[in-house]
Amino acid sequence: MCMNIRHTKGWQYFRGFYYYCRNLFNTYIKSFFTNSYAQYGEDKLIEKLLTKKKDGFYIDIGANHPDRFSNTKMFYKKGWKGINVEPNPISFKKFNKRVRDINLNIGVGKDKKELDFFCFEADTLSTFSENAKNEYLNYGYKLNQTIKVKVNSLVNIFEEYNIKEIDFLSIDVEGFEMEVLRSNNWNIYKPKLIILESNGLSDSSNVIYEHIDFLRPYGYELKYFNGLNSFFVKNNE
């Protein structure tokens, strides 16, 4: 009988230890040498792609934490401002320190309603996606609770806060990315740069091609993929 090693206890322990070491490296060592707050230096690449623009505006969907693994912290320190969307009420409280930003304790999706939000012990894995939840459970991650969270669309958020220009949109929503993308009016609201988590647990190749196919008709080109996040740049019109 052939055993899938990814479902054994030994694999789960090894995988957990690997992520612990990687997170330790990214949080303390990498940031010390590169002044990056993002998980894999995404903020440095954003800065390069936007040619070190000053006084910009960002949108962070699934912001999670104002400092740790943040694609926006470096820019906030440079005087930028933006909107942070974080559905987890515990994680959301940490954004009180972002006094220049608009901080929203909601989720983002196509329709304005309430959805189940699955809160994992590893809070960066918390998700609205039923499929992602089941995958994480199969890999041995612990689900703490399921809560109801209000959801609004990107287009409604942009209209409500009178957003005119968006330098970059960061989306990290654990398998709910297409729901977020479909909630915008891309003919009106056109971020210059989109950073999108495109790494599914089962098959990241299918995920990234789905994102490419969706964004290409709106004039976005994939510039980089770092194994976790894809970077889409708006073509000049």
d(CA 231, CA 162): 25
Dump pLDDT digits (tens) for 43-54: 999 999 998 788
d(CA 207, CA 162): 31
pLDDT of 4 above 50:
no
pLDDT of 143 above 70:
yes
Percent of the chain with pLDDT over 70: 83
Host H or E run for residue 18: helix 9-24
Dump pLDDT digits (tens) for 196-216: 998 766 555 688 999 999 999
Nearest to 75 by CA among 115, 38, 123: 38
Q: Which of 15-29, 158-172, 193-207 has the highest mean pLDDT?
A: 158-172
